[in-house]
Amino acid sequence: MIKHTLKMWPKIILFGDSHTQRSFDPNNGCWGALLANKFQRVCDIIPRGFSGYNTRWCRIIMPKIFQQFKAEEIACVTILLGSNDSVPVSSVTGQHVPVDEYRTNMVAMINFLTSIGIDKNKIILIAPPNMHQDSFKRWSIEQNRPIIPETWEKDLVKYVDACRSIATEMNLSLLDLYTVFMAVKNDNDKLFNDGLHLSRDGGQLLYDNLLPLIMERVVRITGKPFTDQSMQYPYWRDVNTDDPEKSLHP
C-alpha cells in the first residue's frame, strides 16, 4: 500500500471544454467519475472543463487555473480541446478559432505548463472525437439553440489532424479519440447523447483508452506499482485497533 508515506496527494487535472465539464455527469460521458472511482484514496481527479470554450479562451484562463496547484503534486494533465474551435466561422456563436490559431494556442498552453515545472511527460493530449451534425442540429432545435452551419462535421477533422501533429512535433502522449470512436462503425451514434456530447457509452470508451496512459503517470509519481489496494493510508482491517496512532502516523 501507498498508505501515509507520500508527503502529498497526487493530482490528475482534466482540462478542456464541455467534454471535460460533463465528465462527472451521470447522464453524460462520466469518464472523469470513472477515473475518480479508480483512483480513490490514491489521487485527486480535478475537472477543469469549461462548456463552450475554445483554445483562445482557455489559453487566457489556464494560468489562473494552474496557479492553485504545485507542479510537484501533479501526476497528469489531460487537454481535450478542438470541438468548439472547429465551429465554422459563419456560426453566430462566435466560438470559431482558425486552425492555425488553434495550433498556436495549444502549443502556448503546453509551453506554459512546462514553464511552471510540469514535465511534458505528464501531459496527455486528447484529440476531439467525431460528431454527428444531423443529430446535434435536431437537439439544438429542441433546445432552442443556434444552428451550427453544415460544414462543422467536416471542418472538425482539420483540428483533429492539428492535434495529432502537435503531439508528434512536441513528443507528447496522444489519445486519438477521433480514431478510437470512428473504429466503432456500426454503433458510433450511440457514443453521443446529442450528436456532440458523449453518452455513457462514449465516456466508457474514452476512459478505457485513457486509463493505461494515466496509470503510467500515477505509478511514476508514487514510485509504486498500482493495484486496487494502492490506497493512501492502510485498509481498515490493517489498522492496529489497540494502537491506531502506530498505523496512521509515520
Q: What are phi and psi of 42, to 5 degrees?
A: -125, -50
| The three grid cell numbers given for residue 65, joined into one nine-digit string | 487555473
- Is 197 a catalytic site residue? yes
**Residue 138 near residue 123 (C-beta atoms within 8 A):** no
Active-site annotation holder among 155, 197, 199, 230: 197
- Is 194 a catalytic site residue? yes
Spatial separation of the C-alpha atoms in residues 234 and 236, rounded to whole Å: 6
Active-site annotation holder among 17, 18, 85, 176: 18
Angle in degrees, 0-180, between the axes of helices 200-222 and 31-38, rounded to the nearest 10: 40
User: What strands, in cross-sheet order, belong to the sheet with 123-127?
Assistant: 44-49, 11-16, 74-80, 123-127, 173-176
Amino acid letter, residue 216: E
Non-local (6+) Cβ contacts of 183 within 8 A are none
- Is 23 a catalytic site residue? no
Q: What are phi and psi of 9, to 5 degrees?
A: -105, 110
Q: String of b and e for 164-200 (b: at least 16 CB within 10 Å)?
A: bebbeebebbbbbbbebbeeeeeeeeebbbbbbbbbb
**Residue 242 near residue 9 (C-beta atoms within 8 A):** no
Is the four-CA dihedral 218, 222, 224, 229 of positive or negative sign? negative
Q: What are phi and psi of 206, to 5 degrees?
A: -60, -50
| The three grid cell numbers given for residue 69, joined into one nine-digit string | 496547484
Active-site annotation holder among 85, 155, 176, 194: 194
Kindly list the catalytic residues: 18, 194, 197
